Amino acid sequence: MKKLGIVTVTVLMFLGQSCNTNKGEKQENLNAEDNELNAIFPKGEKGSDEYFTGNAYPVGLVEADSIHTTLAGNVYFEPGARSNWHSHPSGQILIITDGVGYHQIEGQEIEVIKKGDVVKCPPNVRHWHGASPDVGLQQLYFIPNTEKGIVEWMEPVTDEDYNKTK
């Protein structure tokens, strides 16, 4: 009985270890493949913690000038990353080129956004946008009429507000 007990415990420990290891490796590979988004534009530098929660990578693509008063760029949000609450004095257009994310105008439900979606946000409306918890987001942004201003940053989106989709 004693011998059997030791053997059983040893086998269980071995199975337990090998199961955990395999699961861990598989999980890692799966996530890496699932979360690999198509990057059309350069990734850029990590955005400031002052404006973003988590890892977001904004990169400017079109600078506004006196003829073209529109600003355009790309933001790659890693899973779970999002902007702070903010507003744009002349509104904003988003075009989602890959992944899954959220867009929320204050007082409205969180809207799920994904590859191929186009989102218009009216001027001077508090809102935020970012990735879903499990899949990142590639979004192009367009800010027209930059002579009126570009963005006014506000407080971070709390985990409680971010998780309200579930």
Q: Which residues bind Mn ion (CB under 5 A)?
A: 92
Side chain identity, residue 47 = G
Question: Residue with CB nearest Mn ion?
Answer: 92
Q: Which residue, 92 or 132, is less far from Mn ion as judged by CB?
A: 92
Comparison of 92 and 146: residue with beta carbon closer to Mn ion: 92
Nearest approach in angstroms of CB 139 to Mn ion is 9
CB closer to Mn ion, 33 vs 50: 50
CB of 129 to Mn ion, least distance (A): 6
Q: Which is nearer to Mn ion, 35 or 153 (CB)?
A: 153
In the chain, DSSP assigns E strands to 52-53, 56-62, 71-77, 82-83, 86-87, 92-105, 111-114, 118-121, 127-131, 137-143, 152-153
| CA separation for the pair 156, 163 (Å, rounded) | 14
CB of 44 to Mn ion, least distance (A): 17
- With H, G, I as helix, E, B as strand and everything else as coil, classify residue 112: strand
State in angstroms the smallest separation of the CB of 158 from Mn ion.
18
Q: What is the number of other CB atoms lying within 10 angstroms of the CB of residue 55? A: 15
